[in-house]
């Protein structure tokens, strides 16, 4: 069937129509599906705990649950109004807990630059390049937020397993968040962190900085998931980098 000239013609025509309205058609397999990539990752590395940092309204956590993930999820969101929606979304889900705080290098309070679209809010100032590509990333006001660390959270809560996936969506604050996890990073099997290929936030790290840091901690870059693309040029500005531990040792976590 698939070598039939009529089938090939109809397939090309169908894809052309789909493309004209801004969609694409891909085979649902590990080579093209981010969902299957994530499912495979969770299964292969036996992830039993997810730390969802920069949760927004809980989109990432809800997606994991829809994919069949059965382990624990801890979602961190610092903005009061957004956190209220996150908590409402997690209500009634036993595996999903929420924490009203941001993640950084040390405990305290900081001023968050709140963006128009809320999702791009950052502890750093947004670069003009980001606003040029998406005007809704501009800052509209500031909000005082509570900051905790991954180390503090893990130390202050019931024992976690040693197969943790740490997901960081902190808009340029990745290195500070990672530096606050140095005592517990031995428990991380997988780290999903946003990588910037061009400056998106002032003084934020670029992809090479994060890759080198993660390499020093015993992780290697596993795959990339596109996150922020310039619609005019097609240039990828940011992607989610998924890192896996090269030689995972559960005894590396420090007391």
- Domain membership of residue 15 (yes or no) is no
Range of the domain at 168: 29-252
Task: Look at residue 20 and tell me if it is in a domain.
Answer: no
Which CATH number belongs to the domain containing residue 176 in this structure?
3.40.50.150
β-strands 108-115, 139-148: how paired? antiparallel
CA distances from 140 to 112, 121, 136, 237 (A): 11, 10, 9, 22
φ, ψ of residue 63 to 5 degrees: the values are -65, -40
Q: pTM for the full model?
A: 0.83
Q: Which DSSP letter does residue 37 get?
A: H
pLDDT, one tens digit per residue, over 86-139 is 999 999 999 999 999 999 999 999 999 999 999 999 999 999 999 999 999 999
Give the count of domains, the chain: 1
pLDDT (tens digit per residue) in 47-67: 999 999 999 999 999 999 999
Please report, rounded to a whole number, the percentage of residues in the chain having pLDDT higher than 90.
67
Non-local CB neighbours of 21 within 8 Å, separated by 6+ positions = none
157-171 residue pLDDT tens = 877 777 899 999 999
Contact call for residues 49 and 71 (beta carbons, < 8 A): yes
Residue 120 buriedness (CB in 10 A; 0-12 / 13-18 / 19+): buried
77 inside domain: yes
In a domain, 5, yes or no: no
Structure confidence at residue 108 (pLDDT): 97
Q: Which helix (H) or strand (E) holds 87?
A: helix 80-90
Q: Is residue 9 part of a domain?
A: no
Domain annotation covers residue 56: yes
Supply 40's token pair: 């495979």
Q: Which residue has the higher pLDDT, 14 or 169?
A: 169
52 lies in some domain: yes
- How high is the pLDDT of residue 2? 43
CA distance 98 to 76: 6
Does 114 map to a domain? yes
How far is 82 from 80, CA to CA, in rounded Å?
6
């Amino acid at each position: 069937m698939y070598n039939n000239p009529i089938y090939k013609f109809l397939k090309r025509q169908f894809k052309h129509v789909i493309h004209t309205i801004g969609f694409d058609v891909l085979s649902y397999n590990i080579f093209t599906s981010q969902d299957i990539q994530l499912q495979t990752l969770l299964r292969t590395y036996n992830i039993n705990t997810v730390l969802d940092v920069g949760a927004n309204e809980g989109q990432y956590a809800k997606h994991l649950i829809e994919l069949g993930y059965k382990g624990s999820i801890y979602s961190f969101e610092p903005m009061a109004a957004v956190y209220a929606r996150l908590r409402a979304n997690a209500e009634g889900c036993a595996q999903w807990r929420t924490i009203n705080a941001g993640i950084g290098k040390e405990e305290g309070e900081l001023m968050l630059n709140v963006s128009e679209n809320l999702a791009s809010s950052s502890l750093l100032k947004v670069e003009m390049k980001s606003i040029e590509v998406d005007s809704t990333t501009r800052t509209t006001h500031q909000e005082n937020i509570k900051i905790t660390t991954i180390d503090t959270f893990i130390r202050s809560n019931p024992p976690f397993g040693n197969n943790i996936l740490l997901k960081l969506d902190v808009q340029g604050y990745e290195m500070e968040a990672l530096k606050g996890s140095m005592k517990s990073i031995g428990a991380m099997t997988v780290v999903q962190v946003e990588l910037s290929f061009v400056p998106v936030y002032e003084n934020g790290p670029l992809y090479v900085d994060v890759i080198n840091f993660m390499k020093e901690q015993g992780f290697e870059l596993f795959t990339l998931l596109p996150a922020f693309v310039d619609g005019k040029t097609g240039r990828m500005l940011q992607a989610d980098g998924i890192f896996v531990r090269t030689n995972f040792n559960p005894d590396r976590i420090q007391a």
